Every structure is written in C-alpha cells, then in structure tokens.
Amino acid sequence: MPTAKQLNNNSHNDKFSFDCPPINNEAEWKAMLALHYNHAEEMASLIEKLPESVLWEIFVEEKYGTYYRNIQGIIEHSHYHLGQIVIIKKMIDAGKGGL
C-alpha cells in the first residue's frame, strides 16, 4: 500500500519497479509494444530450448522452487496484468459514451 507521501509526490518507484518513460504519442506506444513483443518472443524461444529435465531443477536457490514453478509464475503474473489492462480498457470505452 503506498504511503501518503508517495501518493502526494507521485513517487512510488523503488529499485524493483518498472520504470517506463512517458508515452506521448502513437509511435512511442507502438515502439513500446514492439519491444515487449520482442522480449516475450525471446523468452518463449529460450524456454523452448530448455531440456525438459531442467524444468524440474532448483532455480537459483531451493527457496525459489524449480524453473517450472518460476516460469509458470511469470505466465500467471502476465495474465493478471493482462486482466488489469482489459478492465482499464473497458472503463475507458464506457467513459467515451458519456463524453
């Protein structure tokens, strides 16, 4: 939960936050999408190349579980954010009729 100071200063980033520069136009939006699509393709390609046996090995330290668990977590986390995007889009679309 953000603190009042963070909300007032619009300062909610920490060293783990995604620092996305402002998107000011359609070209910047499309460039950002292309970058993320490329990253997703690269990740999928790397996962496809993993031998299946690696999926069941410990990822970095035992407390983090297996590679499979972490890859599945990334996928689920992405789905969570995609759901947020859908909700925001529906809210924006619903607001257009009232303008």
Distance CA(41)–CA(30), nearest Å, equals 16
Q: 68 falls in which pLDDT band (50, 70, 90)? A: very high
Q: For 3-12, 40-49, 73-82, which range has the lowest pLDDT when averaged over its residues?
A: 3-12
The pTM score is 0.66
pLDDT for 19:
73
For range 37-56, the mean pLDDT: 93
pLDDT for 4:
44
